[in-house]
Amino acid sequence: MKKEYDPGEIEQRWYASWSEKGLFHAEADSRARGSYSMVIPPPNVTGVLHMGHAMNNTLQDILIRFNRMEGLNTLWVPGTDHAGIATQNVVEKDLAKRGITRHDMGRDAFVEEVWKWRRLHGDKIIDQLKRMGSSCDWERLRFTMDKGLSKAVRKVFVSLYEEGLIYRSDYIVNWCPRCHSALSDLEVEHEDEDGFLWHMRYPLADGSGEVVVATTRPETMLGDTAVAVHPGDERYASMIGKKCILPFVDRQIPIIEDAVVDVEFGTGAVKITPAHDLNDYEMGIRHGLERIVIMDTSGVMNENAGPYKGMDRFECRRVLEHDLDAGGFLVDKTQYTVPVGHCYRCKSAIEPYLSKQWFVRVKPMAEDAIMAVKEGKTRILPAQWEKTYFEWMNNIRDWCISRQIWWGHRIPAWFCDECGEITVAQADPKVCAHCGSANIHQDSDVLDTWFSSALWPFSTMGWPENTPELKTFYPTSVIITGFDILFFWVARMMMMGIKFMGDVPFRDVYLHALVRDEHGHKMSKSKGNVVDPMDVMDHYGADAFRFTLTAFAAMGRDVRISDKRIQGYRFFINKIWNAGKYVLNKIEGFDPDSVDCSSLRFSLADQWILYRLNHTIHDTREALKGYRYNEAAETLYQFTWHTLCDWYIELSKNMLEGEEKIPTMWTLYYTLKTSLELLHPIIPFVTEEIWQEIPGKKEASIMVAPYPEVTDAFAFADQAKAMAFIIEAIGKIRSIRGETGISPKARIDVVLRSNDHKRQSLFKANETYIRELAVTQNITFIPMDDPRPPRSALAVVSGMEIYVLLEGVLDIATEIARLDKQITKTTKELEKKKKKLANQNFLDKAKEEVVDEQRRLNDELESKLGKLKTAADLLKD
């Protein structure tokens, strides 16, 4: 084995090996062992791996590998998402470089171009996931525009349509004038911007006065069809029913009353533009108002805008303001913060726009999805997200699913040019279902990308066929994803899964945090703070990267990735490597299969590490089962480095001779192997590399080795406690050495003074540990009747005093100072304890075991303090 761990070559080699052996594959066999399944949140096919993916896939892979080692029939379905608008934008940009627009090509050619793009670049992110070690079943790789998935999409659309849950209607939608498409409410990002509130006057038609309205969007006045005031607003009572004149377009519009109007806001009179504002649209329906669309699909003013026709909407605003002012219509203009919606893809300002769109009536499905969580059929973790889920589900509005783009699932609806009716069908119809005319054409819109994603947990398993996959693996065990797509995706999968499969799509939902930069800022290209996971892996290896993400994945908290931290865990990987190297070297030629471990005479140190290992197994398993990733990582880090390496391996160096040799070799072998298996789900590569070198009979890969289980055979609680005393003593002696500046090489003499015979014999029997790890020479045991050794440093442990003889080793003054420091510290602690125990209420009301514990600690501190004081006095004389 090489001196330093080199991840690059090793990671590549093992991934290929696992793949060749078919270890990622799961068969759909419901008779087999229990099953465990997951579907990947499909990354955009245009995507490149970012920190979010890295986090997401690491957490998934850990659970997949853990459960696979548990012996479950474990499936992880991978795939990619066609990502309608995003992908179309990418390909359009590509074409633009060649001076071509999609309109030059036409729809069919453009769609073919996107497929071509996908074939060329679409698997990049898949390769990156492999680089991370993701153990997906690649034989089952799916794409949301696959034949099978497209079939599922059509089936769902047609069913919902027939049930009346999908309908087509005029409505105000979020329109992106750049993408030329409607967007769902979720695809709009709101942001407060500095704007203005314009007050403008509309003269009354009968010349009896004027009404002043306030608006943040003066250009929409061109589409006004009413002015509304609150019922009973005395200021305007006399105007109700009258008409006012809209400047520039000279339209007469009524003044109406509606309870929605806020008396306090602005002038208490609001202009109503039913075709360009949702509120106004709804008010328009209530009052039967005309709807005048004043812009085209690019946000350019149309013929209804009269003299402003042909102007961009923002240019129109500027010109109109000038004209209003010039015409004496502008009363006031004040600074005002206004929330503006932006397209989540291209960031253009969203235009509320009246158009005909397809919608899903989601209320009934939302109710079932709420019930499923309330009844515990699906658990949402961390639990605080449940509330958010309910909140959204309860206030859900119909889902606009049509998009005016070309890349995506075409809506399976055909319009009849003869009778005007709509035919919705799974198979492309030849004639209109209503009048039989062959003169039909398909709706040009495609479906919202999330429509197909909503079906992902069952469409990837072959639905609508009744496949063995569905039987074996549905519902999936858990979905792991970022909280940012709880509504986009998780909620909709819940609705669709319950609707079409009759059961929830997953038992658990685990929502992880966002990965941010080290200062807590969201990573973005414009900020230039993006850390590329591929760079990280090039530098530190996939294992170090995965371990970092895991250690940071505390439930419900943002993750701040920092280079330093990754480096720290890179060192940890190297530490494991070196421990492996040490153990393998020491057990060379050792055949673990020839040893019956139940007949081995384990040393105290052996028993101690086996006991600690048992605990580590328990804690790690519990943490993983509870999605407490950071705890699992922390537990294993502490055990491997600070228990196994710092203590046991050091202790083992003096136990590889004589009768201790075989038990020590076995313990080294066993502890290393088990630790690697425990670590494998988090850091698959380095663990496999070392594990393969371990002697003895074992599985073809650590990937399919059984995950370690707690065993009664190592329930060495008493021995572990005894060893802990020795470790404590070694620590105390080392501390004295360190603090008083005794040379690390100087073998010192130590006197252990105690009347505790058991303790004395324990230390006598295990003298070697102290001699080697605390670098001592003579260790003398004396009873409490014997006088304290003069000119010595003192450390107090429970039931024993430890004296380090200083004669000729160092200056007494240093030790006096050291003791004084400890006396101060101990006195403080003791005071706190005394105060507590002096409180009668505490003694009366606290649990008995708590009081006893406090008394014990008090006594211990008291005795320690006394000893320290005596020792200090002695030295001062």
Partner RNA sequence: GGGCGGGUAGCUCAGUUGGGAGAGCAUCGGCCUUACAAGCCGAGGGUCACAGGUUCAAGCCCUGUUCCGCCUACCA
Site for RNA, residues 744 to 763, rule: CB under 7 A: 744
Residue 12 in the binding site for RNA (CB under 7 A): no
What DSSP designation does 26 have?
A: -
Which is nearer to RNA, 2 or 97 (by Cβ)? 2
Of 144-152, 604-612, 629-637, 713-721, the window that binds RNA (rule: CB under 7 A) is: 629-637
Classify burial at 458, counting beta carbons within 10 Å of its beta carbon; exposed 0-12, middle 13-18, buried 19 or more.
buried
The whole-angstrom separation of Cα 841 and Cα 432 is 87
Residue closer to RNA, measured from CB, 338 or 438: 338
Interface residue with RNA among 130, 317, 628, 680 (CB under 7 A) is 628
**433 binds RNA per the rule CB under 7 A:** no
Q: How far apart are CA 673 and CA 620, in angstroms?
A: 15
Binding status of residue 552 toward RNA by CB under 7 A: yes
Judged by CB under 7 A, the chain residues 450 through 509 that form the site for RNA are 484, 487
Q: Is 585 in the site for RNA (CB under 7 A)?
A: yes
Distance CA 336, CA 506 (A): 46
Looking up tokens 């291209």 gives 346
Beta bridge partners of 312: 300
- Residue nearer to RNA on the CB measure, 14 or 500: 14
Nearer to RNA, 102 or 230 (CB): 230
* Residue 107 vs 856, nearer CB to RNA: 856
Give the span between the Cα atoms of 470 and 789, in whole angstroms: 77
Identify residues 354-373 at the interface with RNA (CB under 7 A).
none
Given 153, 270, 365, 605, the residue binding RNA (CB under 7 A)? 270
User: Is 657 near RNA (CB under 7 A)?
Assistant: no
Q: Where are the alpha helices (DSSP H) in 395-552?
A: 449-453, 456-459, 468-473, 492-501, 533-540, 542-552
**Nearest approach, Cβ of residue 730 and RNA (Å):** 7
What CA–CA distance (Å, rounded) separates 728 from 708?
29
**Is the CB of 341 or the CB of 464 nearer to RNA?**
341
Q: By C-beta, is 167 or 571 nearer to RNA?
A: 571
Task: At 695, list the tokens.
Answer: 């002697």
Q: Identify the residue among 122, 268, 457, 684 touching RNA (CB under 7 A).
A: 268
Q: Closest Cα to residue 787, out of 768, 803, 807?
A: 803
How far apart (Å, rounded) are the C-alpha atoms in residues 496 and 362?
10
One residue of 832, 834, 859, 876 binding RNA per CB under 7 A: 832
- Least Cβ distance, residue 327 to RNA (angstroms): 20
CB 220 within 8 A of CB 356: no
Closer residue to RNA (CB): 156 or 555? 555
DSSP 3-state assignment of 213? strand
Structure tokens, 84: 């309608």
Q: Is 262 near RNA (CB under 7 A)?
A: yes
Q: How far is the CB of 267 from RNA (least distance, A)?
A: 7
Q: Give whole-number Cα distances, 220 to 139, 244, 277, 684, 766, in Å.
A: 55, 16, 9, 60, 89
Q: Interaction with RNA in 143-172: which residues (CB under 7 A)?
A: none
Q: Which residue in the set 297, 574, 768, 814 belongs to the binding site for RNA (CB under 7 A)?
A: 574
Residue 314 in the binding site for RNA (CB under 7 A): no
C-alpha span between 141 and 78 (Å, rounded): 5
Contact 352, 183 (CB under 8 A): no
| Residue of 562, 692, 701, 870 interacting with RNA (CB under 7 A) | 562
**440 burial type by CB count under 10 A (0-12 exposed, 13-18 middle, 19+ buried):** buried
Answer yes or no: are the C-beta atoms of 393 and 366 closer than 8 Å.
yes
Tell me the closest approach of the beta carbon of residue 391 to RNA, in angstroms. Answer: 6
Q: Is 386 in the site for RNA (CB under 7 A)?
A: no
Do residues 463 and 501 touch, judged by C-beta distance below 8 A?
yes
User: CB of 778: closest distance to RNA in angstroms?
Assistant: 20
Cβ at position 400, least distance to RNA in Å: 12
Q: From CA 425, how far away is CA 412, in angstroms rounded?
A: 6
User: In the 3-class helix/strand/coil scheme, how is 237-301 assigned residue by residue?
Assistant: HHHCCCEEEECCCCEEEEEEECCCCCCCCCCCEEEECCCCCHHHHHHHHHHCCCCCCCECCCCEE
Question: Binding RNA by CB under 7 A: which of 118, 570, 621, 753?
Answer: 570
Among 439, 743, 761, 780, binds RNA (CB under 7 A): 743
Nearer to RNA, 470 or 478 (CB): 478
CA nearest to 565, candidates 525, 521, 524, 531:
531
Interaction between residue 271 and RNA (CB under 7 A): yes
Give yes or no for residue 853 binding RNA (CB under 7 A): yes
Query: Which residues, other chains included, contact 159 with Cβ-Cβ below 8 Å and sequence gap of 6+?
Result: 500
Is residue 2 a contact residue for RNA (CB under 7 A)?
Answer: no
Site size toward RNA, by CB under 7 A: 97
The only residue of 3, 31, 98, 525 in contact with RNA, by rule CB under 7 A? 3
Helix (H, G, I), strand (E, B) or coil at 784: coil
Contact call for residue 629 and RNA (CB under 7 A): no
180-239: contacts with RNA (CB under 7 A) = 185-186, 189-190, 192, 213-217
Specify the DSSP class assigned to residue 204: B
Among 49, 294, 604, 649, binds RNA (CB under 7 A): 649
Task: Give least dist CB 116 to RNA, A.
Answer: 34
Q: Judged by CB under 7 A, which stretch of 118-126, 589-597, 639-647, 680-688 contacts RNA?
A: 639-647
Distance CA 769, CA 655 (A): 10
Contact flag: residue 556 with RNA (CB under 7 A): yes
Candidates 16, 54, 672; CA nearest to 680 is 672
From 265-273, 322-330, 364-372, 677-685, span contacting RNA (CB under 7 A): 265-273
Residues 789-828 that bind RNA (CB under 7 A): 821
589 forms part of the interface with RNA (CB under 7 A): no
The sign of the dihedral angle between the CA atoms of 99, 104, 108, 111 is positive
How many Cβ atoms from other residues are within 10 Å of residue 790's Cβ? 12
367 vs 650, beta carbon nearer RNA:
650
Site for RNA contains 866 (CB under 7 A): no
Binding-site member from 442, 701, 735, 870 for RNA (CB under 7 A): 735
Give the Cα separation of 109 and 113 in Å (integer). Answer: 6
Decide: 861 and 829 in contact? Cβ < 8 Å.
Answer: yes
